[in-house]
Structure 1
Amino acid sequence: MESLGELLSQMNNSQLRRRSDELKARMMNEPLVRDLCIRHPELGEEQLNRGMAKLYQYVNDSRHCANCPGLDRCPNDFPGHYTKLTVENAGNVVQLVDCQVPCSKQVRYEQELMVKKRIQSFYVDERALSEGYKEVEILTRDSVRAPAVGQVFRYINATKEAGLQTRGLYLEGHFGTGKTFLMCYLLHELAKEGYSGVIVYMPEFVEDLKSMLQDSQKLKETTEIMKQADLLIFDDIGAENLNPWVRDHVMGSILNYRMNRKPTFYTSNYSLSALEKHLSFTSKDGEEINKGQRLMDRIAPFVDVVTVSGSNKRGRA
């Protein structure tokens, strides 16, 4: 439908009066307008005539919304919004007041946008963070991993009820069992509650840190982001090629700051004991048991271990 202004601007005076009368009659016969008049008998003919353009927009938007083609193709003048009419009495003068209200699809879009702004990823596939998560599907996708899923769900609910925890989770298991997926779901759910989150893919992060040796400002900004985030996930820890500087000065600094303050989460193919052995060995200095233990003292006491069993789902639709 054309706007009311466009229709009337194309006509001469006689056509304008005739078309105006036709539009008025049609508007008064619209179910939405009849319902408005029933709910507000104080609306007289004069008020309705003065508010005809608003009534037209109200009906037009409602018709578009009833046959919504999707948010990206919204035909309303203000995409993602519809006209809402109220009747107000100001100084004993009754008048129609219109305002633009976001539709349910626009509200969901804005909520998702806010969720995405609260989550930052380093080297993690963005698709994992933009899934259309469904709890039933997560629970039933692989019955073998159901106990692990239950633990993650309980952690999310506990945080929603009691606030940010100081302990995180350590998800251990074979390749492709959905550990990263579950952590992304946790981030998504808690971001909806207002918490900020960071997820870091360890192998690429450690490689990128080498270039930051020449950019101290970027290094400081990156580590500060990880220190301050409400939720921090080190994804695939144990798969990186460690060097002493990364282990002792970067990882150690981040974890030292977060322990007893904010929860840190991990996904790994290693158990905690196997991870300690991994952290004790670097390509430069070989095995340094004390250094590995020192870092593990900032990991193991602050996590609950979740064993994620199941089949390898990578590459499957």
Structure 2
Amino acid sequence: MKHTMAMESLGDLLGQWPGGNEALAQADRLMNDLLEEPLVQRLQNKYPELSRDVLRLNLNKVYQYTTEYRNCSNCPGLERCPNDFEGHYTLLSCETTGSLVQLNERKVTCKKLLAKQSQDLIRSRVRSFYVDEKALSRGYSADEILTNDLERMKAVGQLMKYIDVTKEQGLQKEGLYLAGMFGTGKTFLMCYMLYELAKAGYTGAIVYMPEFVEDLKSLMHEPGKLKETVDVMKETDLLIFDDIGAENLNPWVRDHVMGAILNYRMNRKPTFYTSNYNLDALEQHFSFTNKDGDELHKGQRIMDRIRHYVQIVHVKGHNKRGK
């Protein structure tokens, strides 16, 4: 009764304004159009107890319901979501308690936001040190990996098998050593592996060696930050040293940083490498000649932590840099 009186009072008030009757008539037409929406009619079919009077009492909810449904049907993309609560839409349901019929609303997360949240979670599992973020943020597909360069099919097959075995059996003790010429897609393949295994719940880190080694010179004076960086590399499930052998290495980095990381990860977690050099050439790189025998021994020692804990993958193909 109070609601009817309020509506009548509102009608009287509108009628007294210049053009008030027309405004009221237009409001009635808009309300009737809204109640005739196929979406609203489907809602009434689902809940027969949902009378037009109840719908009229909940016009704001009904309007938002139909508007957001229309927005989602013509989705402009998550970044330009026009709904009140980005990435969500309104659903209505009906609840009857005794003679009281209530129209309830709830917010539902849309598929695009769910997909983004899933991708964000996957990417949060992967850390990069001086690697182009584009290499990690792009999407990958098995078809793209397989067909990008037919010359590297054997290498891709080895990589796919490794991913499958890890998903089935858990982390392996051995990693992979991807050796090949410049621009054959070694980093691309490693990022694909990180992405696929991040989807399975594994954490990973990829380190671009030339820049990492240069940055370590400044980290020498920041022991807290150095320890934090080294600890991440020790503990992550999958660690990739990208372009190893291209760095301007020094004994301290080799023995106290690389050595410490690899010594910790032995028999615990797999380590991966991409390089333009084979293992013998990498050993020469690690064996500095300025102190001859002593450095040769130290170079061999770190290679023992690499050579015996990797499967060799020869990556052939065309140079894709700059394409």
Fold match (TM-score > 0.5): yes
The structure that has the greater radius of gyration is 2
Q: Secondary structure in 1 aligned to 2:240?
A: strand
Alignment of 1:4-153 (within 5 A): 13-14=14-15, 17-89=24-96, 93-153=100-160
Which residue does the alignment assign to 1:285? Answer: 291
**Conserved 8 A contact 1:171-1:307:** yes
Unaligned 5+ runs, structure 2: 1-9
**Conserved 8 A contact 1:244-1:285:** no
TM-fit CA distance, 1:303: 1.6
Amino acid at match of 2:286: L
Which residue does the alignment assign to 1:296? Answer: 303
Amino acid at match of 2:177: Y
- Aligned counterpart for 1:232 among listed residues 231, 235, 239: 239
Alignment of 1:214-253 (within 5 A): 214-253=221-260
TM-fit CA distance, 1:17: 4.9
Residue 307 (structure 1) aligned with residue 298 (structure 2): no
Q: 1:180 to 1:188 in 2, by over 3 A?
A: same
TM-score by length of 2: 0.87
Q: 1:262 to 1:93 in 2, by over 3 A?
A: farther
TM-fit CA distance, 1:44: 2.6
Deviations 1:169-192 (A, max 9, x none): 111111100000111111122222
Q: 1:90 to 1:192 in 2, by over 3 A?
A: farther
Matched length:
306
CA–CA separation in structure 1 for the residues paired with 2:157 and 2:100: 59
Deviations 1:38-95 (A, max 9, x none): 1222323343233322111111011111112222211111122211223334567442
CA RMSD of aligned residues (A): 2.2
Which residue does the alignment assign to 1:213? Answer: 220
Residue 275 (structure 1) aligned with residue 282 (structure 2): yes
CA–CA separation in structure 2 for the residues paired with 1:89 and 1:168: 61
- Aligned counterpart for 2:175 among listed residues 162, 168, 177: 168
CA–CA separation in structure 2 for the residues paired with 1:90 and 1:269: 73
Q: 1:240 to 1:73 in 2, by over 3 A?
A: same
Q: 1:184 to 1:12 in 2, by over 3 A?
A: farther
Which deviates more, 14-23 or 246-255?
14-23
Amino acid at match of 1:18: A
Unaligned 5+ runs, structure 1: 1-8
